[in-house]
Amino acid sequence: MSSIAHLESLSGLSAFVATVDAGGFAAAGRRLGMSASAIGKAVGRMEDRLGIRLLIRTTRRVSMTFEGEQFYARATRLLDDLRDMEGELASQRGAPKGRVRISLPATLGRMLVVPRLGSFAQAFPEIELDIGLDDRKVDLIEGGYDLAIRTGHLEDSALLARSLGSHRFVLCASPAYLSARVAPQGVADLATHTCIRFRYPSTGLLEKWSFDGAEFDKELGQGPVLNDGEAVAVAAIAGLGLAQLPVYAAATALADRRLQQVMSAARCIRGELWLVRPASRAEVPRAKAVSAFLEECLRNE
């Protein structure tokens, strides 16, 4: 293949990935500084070279074919590898640069990481963060992620992992809820209370509450079930019942007394907070900078 053909292939890859990420040719063109027509032609030439259709075009949007979905996963990894190479070379001349994809649990990300993004951007203006907030466990390698924060007990995997400390929780309820009934003094009292539960989106299972190293499920009273961590906190603040919340999710409401802690003598810990990453990303300068930033965000949690 000639050098011109190689450049056309790279241009087509960039145009294809940008189209999928942005949702259309026009938006991809704005992202890459090209016209919508030029983006469409670049993708079309690549489809012709490959002999397969990657995108389904309609008047309103574009979507991927089955082959396009497979190609997208490989294309994003290839482009990320090229950015890694550029970043490593650039780091020899100065500050880290390039894109870093991160997967974070939704509530943790919104509460602990997003509010601190401004300071990170000031320190590393040439690093572009692409953050996914999702309570489902994504496949870091298939999804092209550089880093992730995971909670609880880590399963065996080929990923590199480092513990960032205990994942601490607090049992709490609103003053209005507690004014109408006797606050629980121990686990045996929970059956008589309304317990707001979280359902894990990845498994469909209900969370178990933890006290002093033991887990409890059937001992808990019936109550609303929600699959969003922030919604559980909102329900507790609204007086719907007791909730066992991560410390970071309850801290503000506890401080301004919208929530009150109960059974404070019980130790509520559910595993640990983990920073995980593929081995191939461990020494990339920009990934190392983001790793240090995430550790700082979670250090006191």
Query: 167 with 272: CB under 8 angstroms?
Result: yes
pLDDT of residue 258: 97
String of DSSP letters for 231-267: HHHHHHHTTS-BEEEEHHHHHHHHHTTSSEE-STTS-
Q: pTM value?
A: 0.67
Whether 81 has a pLDDT exceeding 50, the answer reads yes
- To 10 degrees, the CA torsion angle through 81, 84, 86, 88? -140
- Mean pLDDT (the chain) is 86
- To 10 degrees, the CA torsion angle through 72, 143, 27, 84? -90
Q: pLDDT digit string (tens) for 154-183?
A: 776 678 888 998 999 999 999 999 999 999
pLDDT of residue 49: 87
What residues have CB less than 8 Å from 37, skipping those under 6 apart? Answer: 25
Whether 238 has a pLDDT exceeding 90, the answer reads yes
Q: pLDDT digit string (tens) for 91-128?
A: 555 678 888 999 999 999 999 999 999 999 999 998 99
pLDDT of residue 141: 74
Q: pLDDT digit string (tens) for 134-161?
A: 888 888 877 778 899 998 887 766 788 8
Whether 21 has a pLDDT exceeding 60, the answer reads yes
- What whole-number distance in Å separates Cα of residue 210 and Cα of residue 139? 27
Whether 283 has a pLDDT exceeding 60, the answer reads yes
Q: In this structure, what token pair is assigned to residue 127?
A: 């690093």
pLDDT of residue 92: 55
pLDDT of residue 7: 46
Distances (CA, A) of 46 to 51, 68, 166, 263, 274: 8, 12, 49, 62, 40
Query: 135 with 202: CB under 8 angstroms?
Result: yes
Query: 176 with 204: CB under 8 angstroms?
Result: no
Around Cβ 267, how many Cβ atoms within 10 Å?
A: 12
**Residue 259, phi then psi, degrees to nearest 5:** -130, 155
Q: Are strands 127-133 and 214-216 parallel, antiparallel or unpaired?
A: unpaired
The 8-class DSSP code of residue 248 comes to: H
Whether 242 has a pLDDT exceeding 90, the answer reads yes
Q: How would residue 188 be classed by pLDDT, with cut points 50, 70 and 90?
A: very high
